[in-house]
């Protein structure tokens, strides 16, 4: 028997890949594009910033030129928003810029830990769902908030494993397990995934997808690291679909416990 991988369904779309990639922090647009290809990701985040009006363009001014809009679903984010109103403005700008009404909703006013503001995120999510956006909110691993966001019509919930860019893995594991148990929308573990093993761990737990950026972008070889994450996500998901062996208190021998040398008859 071979297990055929299940596709990931978010809102009205199906994805074969369960790895979502962020485009930040790459040394160049070309390198980002090569890593994106290697990652197999089909959903990809971008941000919005004020255009440089000084006459001196910045190097990442045209990130969309490196992403084939026919091949990928663009997920503009609301990074930089400090409250719900700013997030709504950024969402509308993002939709106009990308032609995509899919949105990574993120509101994190504290620059040190970049932890998401739950009150503003819920408020913004309600407004944006009403405006027709497909909202994928970035949240702390709070099971109650996850249900509230699901109730207002969010397409997923995206709880963090640990702070953005920290590479510390699934520090919120116990809460992630509750979110996964209770959610009726896909759960995407976003932020803090620093190693392929973290991604595999999230998938083995039953997360529907992971979002990875820094760990790929800052690697010495981002294309190679994208491939490593792709393999880890596929491995973790396959193991989850099959079901892991139960954990046990005591050892359980894998070799026969009979027929040892010098056994008494």
Catalytic machinery residues:
104
Q: Would you say 172 or 214 has its CB closer to another protein?
A: 214
Cβ at position 102, least distance to another protein in Å: 14
Shortest separation between residue 53's beta carbon and another protein, angstroms: 5
CA distance 48 to 64: 11
Q: In degrees rounded to 5, what are phi and psi of residue 94? A: -65, -40
User: How far apart, in whole angstroms, are the C-alpha atoms of residue 24 and residue 44?
Assistant: 10
- What long-range pairs does 2-11 form, CB within 8 A, spacing at least 24? 3/238, 3/241, 3/242, 5/234, 5/237, 5/238, 5/241, 6/241, 8/186, 8/208, 8/209, 9/186, 10/43, 10/134, 10/136, 10/155, 10/156, 10/186, 11/102, 11/134, 11/155
Smallest distance from another protein to CB 77, Å: 6
* 95 vs 237, beta carbon nearer another protein: 95
Question: Does residue 102 sit in helix, strand or coil?
Answer: strand
Is the Cβ of residue 148 or residue 214 nearer to another protein in the bound state?
214
Q: How far is the CB of 23 from another protein (least distance, A)?
A: 4
Contact 161, 193 (CB under 8 A): yes
CB of 88 to another protein, least distance (A): 11
Q: How many CB atoms lie within 10 A of CB 96?
A: 10
Question: Cβ closer to another protein: 77 or 134?
Answer: 77
How far is Cα 188 from Cα 144, in angstroms, rounded to an integer? 16
CB of 49 to another protein, least distance (A): 5
Minimum CB distance to another protein smaller for 54 or for 254: 54
For another protein, which is the closer residue by CB, 60 or 153? Answer: 60
CB 196, CB 229: distance < 8 Å: yes
Contacts of 201 (CB under 8 A, 6+ apart): 169, 170, 173, 236
Query: Which residues face 209 on adjacent strands?
Result: 188
Binding site for another protein (CB under 8 A): 22-26, 29, 32, 45-51, 53, 55, 57-58, 60-64, 76-77, 79, 89, 92-98, 164, 211, 213-214
């Amino acid at each position: 028997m071979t297990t055929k991988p299940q596709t990931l369904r978010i809102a009205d779309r199906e994805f074969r890949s369960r790895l979502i990639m962020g485009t930040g922090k790459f040394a160049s647009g070309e390198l980002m594009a090569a890593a994106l290809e290697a990652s197999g990701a089909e959903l990809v985040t971008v941000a919005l910033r004020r255009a440089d009006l000084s006459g001196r363009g910045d190097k990442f001014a045209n990130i969309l030129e490196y992403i084939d809009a026919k091949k990928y679903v663009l997920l503009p984010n609301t990074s930089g928003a400090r409250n719900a109103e700013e997030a709504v403005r950024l969402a509308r700008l993002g939709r106009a810029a990308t032609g995509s009404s899919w949105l990574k909703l993120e509101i994190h006013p504290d620059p040190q830990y970049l932890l998401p503001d739950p009150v503003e995120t819920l408020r913004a999510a309600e407004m944006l769902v009403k405006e027709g956006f497909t909202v994928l909110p970035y949240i702390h691993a709070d099971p109650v908030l996850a249900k509230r966001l699901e109730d207002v019509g969010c397409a997923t919930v995206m709880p963090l494993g640990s702070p953005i860019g920290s590479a510390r893995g699934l520090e919120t594991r116990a809460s992630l397990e509750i979110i996964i148990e209770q959610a009726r929308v896909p759960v995407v573990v976003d932020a803090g995934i620093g190693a392929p093993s973290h991604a595999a761990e999230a998938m083995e737990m039953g997360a529907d997808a992971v979002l990875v950026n820094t760990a790929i972008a800052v690697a010495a070889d981002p294309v190679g690291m994208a491939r490593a994450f792709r393999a880890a996500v596929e491995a973790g998901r396959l193991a989850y679909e099959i079901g892991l062996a139960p954990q046990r208190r005591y050892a359980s021998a894998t070799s026969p416990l009979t027929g040892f040398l010098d056994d008494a008859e």
